[in-house]
């Protein structure tokens, strides 16, 4: 996130991030589904895998191109959305109002995110790909959301209990999560909001002159 986009360091660190995140999310979803059942972790693993995969394909493809990978990513997103709906329904009708230890609202939030992302996938495929800032923004927001899931799971989830008590009580564990959110908001502002504002401002100035 700190390196200049397109630089050698950014590419190398991006490849390392891509491979490690895919491996972590796939392994986490498998363990949560087969070895230590946890539907919440299955959902988190599937969503993270989907976001990282589609974020990577965005910059791997040339501008204005789509292919089988994009279609496969959209299908994975839709399958994850269906799973979220089914599990949310199961939690709603369960006596404890939980499914696999998680309430319906948990699955609804994840389902909402993946539905929004899948909708954008379908729109992109129909349009024949993305160019310019829209392409960059698609890559960045998906990477940032995947990073948010990973950092919040580690620093605020069960793994945080491995930190010393002094660290947990200091509130420092929330800092990495906040930094990811700030980075996402910065990219949205810089890449999407500011260019639109400048364009509209230029139009107003031209009209007034």
Domain ranges of the chain: 8-208
When pLDDT is averaged across residues 72-84 and rounded to a whole number, the result is 94
Residue 98 pairs in a beta bridge with 103
Alpha carbons 179 and 147: distance in angstroms, whole number: 10
pLDDT score, position 119: 96
At residue 37, the 3 state secondary structure works out as coil
Listed in sequence order, the DSSP H helices in 128-174 are 132-156, 165-170
| Burial of 145 from C-beta contacts in 10 A (0-12 / 13-18 / 19+) | buried
Lowest model confidence (mean pLDDT) among 18-27, 67-76, 112-121, 186-195? 186-195
Tokens linked to 176: 């990495």
pLDDT at 54 > cutoff 90: yes
Give the chain's mean pLDDT. 88
What are the tens digits of pLDDT across the range 89-134?
Answer: 999 998 888 888 889 999 999 999 999 999 999 999 999 988 888 8
Q: Provide the whole-model pTM.
A: 0.86
Give the dihedral sign, CA 159/163/167/169. Answer: positive
């Amino acid at each position: 996130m700190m390196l200049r986009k397109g630089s050698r360091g950014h590419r190398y660190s991006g490849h390392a991030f891509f491979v490690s995140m895919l491996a972590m999310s796939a392994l986490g979803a498998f363990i949560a589904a087969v070895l230590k059942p946890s539907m919440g972790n299955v959902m988190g693993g599937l969503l993270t895998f989907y976001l990282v995969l589609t974020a990577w394909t965005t910059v791997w493809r040339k501008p204005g191109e789509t292919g089988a990978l994009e279609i496969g990513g959209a299908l994975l997103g839709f399958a994850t959305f269906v799973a979220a709906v089914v599990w949310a329904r199961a939690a709603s009708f369960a006596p404890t109002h939980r499914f696999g230890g998680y309430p319906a609202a948990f699955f609804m939030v994840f389902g909402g995110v993946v539905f929004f992302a899948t909708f954008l996938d379908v729109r992109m495929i129909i349009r024949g790909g993305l160019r310019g800032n829209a392409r960059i923004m698609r890559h960045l927001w998906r990477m940032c959301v995947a990073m948010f899931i990973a950092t919040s799971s580690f620093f605020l989830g069960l793994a945080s209990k491995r930190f010393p008590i002094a660290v947990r009580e200091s509130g420092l564990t929330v800092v990495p999560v906040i930094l990811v959110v700030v980075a996402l908001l910065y990219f949205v502002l810089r890449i999407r909001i500011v260019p639109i504002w400048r364009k509209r401002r230029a139009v107003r100035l031209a009209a007034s002159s």
